[in-house]
A and B are shown apart, each in its own frame.
Chain A
Amino acid sequence: DTGVSQDPRHKITKRGQNVTFRCDPISEHNRLYWYRQTLGQGPEFLTYFQNEAQLEKSRLLSDRFSAERPKGSFSTLEIQRTEQGDSAMYLCASSRNDRGPRETQYFGPGTRLLVL
């Protein structure tokens, strides 16, 4: 399977714990995006990388959220001191930026987080 993969697919944690999610993009894609999706809403943009550079992070929900892509391949999204309001689906997408604003994003299956 050469699509976008995410791990874990499901995560249950207690309030106050830290969680980390991983995303492996399609291999030739240099852009990687993170989104959060809650029930009944569309995906909400959080941040994105071009290669290893994080080009936009002002939309991260709070300073408890951080993302890395150290070698320009896989990425991690960390949430520190989780809160019940962080319960959501976290989606990763990748793309090639060779078409400017018309680039197509391919989504992974998501990580569903439940904070108790």
Chain B
Amino acid sequence: RKEVEQDPGPFNVPEGATVAFNCTYSNSASQSFFWYRQDCRKEPKLLMSVYSSGNEDGRFTAQLNRASQYISLLIRDSKLSDSATYLCVVNGASGGSYIPTFGRGTSLIVHP
């Protein structure tokens, strides 16, 4: 089983739709969780951190479920500019260091 798993998609949705992505992780000792966004042939950029209580930033909501070991990202009122790959990142402790593990990413295509 991979350490961090994501459905690669693509998710193809119309403008204005609500779309949700899940990401599962295998290391129960994982410390922190993030969603990054990566545009085609560009570097990843932090979208948001994920907290146990859930957090919201405008149209984006992230949730963490430690018991089931998954995190989610909800995008409401999708815009054309939301088209990108969304990467789930899990930080796990390893010998005093925090090793970030990325999922393979979920591709989102928002069409008119």
Contacts and interface: CB of A to CB of B under 8 A. Distances in A.
B8 A40 contact: yes
B16 interface: no
B101 A48 contact: no
Contact of B45 (A45, A56, A107): A107
Q: Is the interface of B mostly helix, strand, loop or mixed?
A: strand
A55 B97 CA distance: 7
Nearest to B85: A42
Interface residues of B, number: 27
A94 to B, nearest CB: 12
A44 interface: yes
Given A101-B93, A102-B49, A107-B45, A41 B104 contact: yes
29 contacts: A33-B100, A35-B102, A40-B8, A40-B104, A41-B105, A42-B4, A42-B104, A43-B87, A43-B102, A44-B102, A45-B100, A45-B101, A55-B97, A56-B99, A59-B99, A91-B43, A100-B31, A100-B98, A101-B32, A101-B91, A101-B98, A102-B32, A102-B49, A103-B98, A104-B49, A105-B46, A106-B46, A107-B43, A107-B44
